[in-house]
Amino acid sequence: MSSSDKKDRWFSPGVLGIGSASFFSDVGHEVPTSLLPSLLTSMGSPAAALGLIEGVANAAAGLAKLAGGPIADDPARRRQVAVGGYISTAAFSSLIGVATAAWQVGAFRLAAWTARGLRVPARNALLADLVSPQSYGRAYGFERAMDNLGAIAGPLLALLLVSLIGVRDAILVSVIPGLLAAAAIWFAVRQPARFKSRQHRPFRITVAPLLRGGLGRLFLGLSAFELGNVAATLLILRATQSLTPQLGAQKATQAALALYTAYNIAATLISIPAGHFLDKRGAMPVLAAAPILFCAAFAAFIQGGLPLLAAGFVLAGLGIGCAETAQSSAVASLAPQTHRGSAFGLLAAMQSFGNLAASAMAGILWTVFSPATAFLYLALWMAVGAIAIIWANPKAPI
């Protein structure tokens, strides 16, 4: 076997461990996420309580991702944070099952999402340590595929568990896949890494050096994309409202969830092929494809109707699969090794707050004007995002 072949062997035990951690973790926290509305309803809490809990938790996760970046700059700390983050997320998510009031649900959700946010830069930096730059696309594509597969399996497991043991016990049992995720990441961090350092680095939030040169242009292009990348719950809401007149409320809800499953399946199936493509041709074509796919998806959501909605969900799933794979690969390639954790922290925070801003703007347009107006705005904004990414032209030094 030639030296180039050895370099290209990206599917190592460490990569498998990180992918497995993403799968089991997503299965674990999707169970309580799927059952939160039922649990809060059983407590007599209003719908606004769910919105407040999710809004605060997601904001905390965004801040935690930004803070987790500098921690992950230290190779020794990133291993500790990754393992601790997976354990904490599993424990706090499952404890929602013992909550007796909405504020307790909120407290456990906040703690779980803060731990989840802290571990993201560490996990992504660890994955870059385990493979060569020529294989970043495939490695991150595999990790994203496993994460999306967990998003499919989690709600299905929740349905099964509720039918067998009820809502609260189902949430408690979700600690098992969460702990399997922690075991998988512990196995991954014990694998030999390409980049090692015996010297601890001081904690220092670094932003300015990441906004220069090619990496800075990349972040500018990605920020334009993320400001149009709305939460998938808005897509589900559009499908539910659009289909209710012809199917009735219950069947429309079931159809919308089936379409959301198709979204996750599309994201799962595209992630690894997208990674293979960008390893051969560079990140820019895949990054530019993402907003174009979303632009087409949002155009389908303007009109509504089952065929167009189905096409929209599949196109959006393909778009998010391309975007997440290419973003991680491009940042890993362009960021300096000494600040790779900070770069991933900035990326993750930008994704969180961009999603929040996009969803808020779409929600305002939806309420004041119409759903069609909101999706027209999003389609036009994604066209702007495609232009911004093409302008950024992030050619990674692979």
Cβ–Cβ < 8 Å for 366, 382: no
Give the Å distances, CA to CA, from 26 to 74, 204, 350. 26, 30, 21
Cβ–Cβ < 8 Å for 69, 343: yes
- Residue 321: Cβ within 10 Å count: 30
pLDDT digits (tens, 9 = 90+) for 64-118: 888 888 888 777 787 888 889 999 999 999 999 999 888 998 899 899 999 998 8
pLDDT of residue 8: 57
CA separation for the pair 328, 335 (Å, rounded): 10
pLDDT digits (tens, 9 = 90+) for 29-43: 888 887 877 787 788
pLDDT of residue 398: 38
Cite the beta strand spans of the chain per DSSP E: none
319 pLDDT more than 60: yes
Contacts of 265 (CB under 8 A, 6+ apart): 148, 152, 317
Handedness of CA 140, 143, 149, 150 (dihedral sign): negative
Q: Which two tokens stand for residue 352?
A: 């969180």
CA separation for the pair 255, 245 (Å, rounded): 13
Q: Which two tokens stand for residue 118?
A: 């802290």
Percent pLDDT > 70 in the chain is 90
CATH (one of 1.20.1250.20, 3.30.930.10, 3.40.50.720, 3.60.110.10) for 10-190: 1.20.1250.20
Percent composition of the chain: helix, strand, coil (DSSP 3-state, to 5): 85, 0, 15
394 pLDDT more than 70: no
CA separation for the pair 60, 64 (Å, rounded): 6
Tokens 């890993």 found at: 332
Cβ–Cβ < 8 Å for 181, 24: yes
Q: Taking residues 321-331, what's their average pLDDT? A: 91
Give the Å distances, CA to CA, from 172 to 22, 91, 96. 19, 9, 7
335 pLDDT more than 90: no
Evaluate whether 10-190 and 210-398 have a shared fold: yes
2 compared with 331, residue with greater pLDDT: 331
pLDDT digits (tens, 9 = 90+) for 112-162: 999 998 898 888 888 888 888 888 889 999 999 999 899 889 888 888 888
CA separation for the pair 306, 286 (Å, rounded): 28
202 pLDDT more than 70: no
Give the Å distances, CA to CA, from 366 to 225, 253, 370. 20, 19, 5
pLDDT of residue 4: 47
pLDDT digits (tens, 9 = 90+) for 37-62: 778 778 887 766 776 787 788 888 88
239 pLDDT more than 70: yes
Segments making up each domain of the chain, as ranges: 10-190, 210-398
In sequence order, what DSSP letters do the residues of 282-346 get, joined into one string? Answer: -SHHHHHHHHHHHHHHHHHHHH-SHHHHHHHHHHHHHHHHHHHHHHHHHHHHHS-GGGHHHHHHH
321 pLDDT more than 90: yes
pLDDT of residue 316: 96
Q: Is domain 210-398 classified as CATH 3.20.20.370?
A: no
163 pLDDT more than 80: yes
**DSSP classification of residue 131:** S
CA separation for the pair 285, 16 (Å, rounded): 26
206 pLDDT more than 70: no
187 pLDDT more than 50: yes
Handedness of CA 287, 214, 5, 341 (dihedral sign): negative
CA separation for the pair 22, 382 (Å, rounded): 28
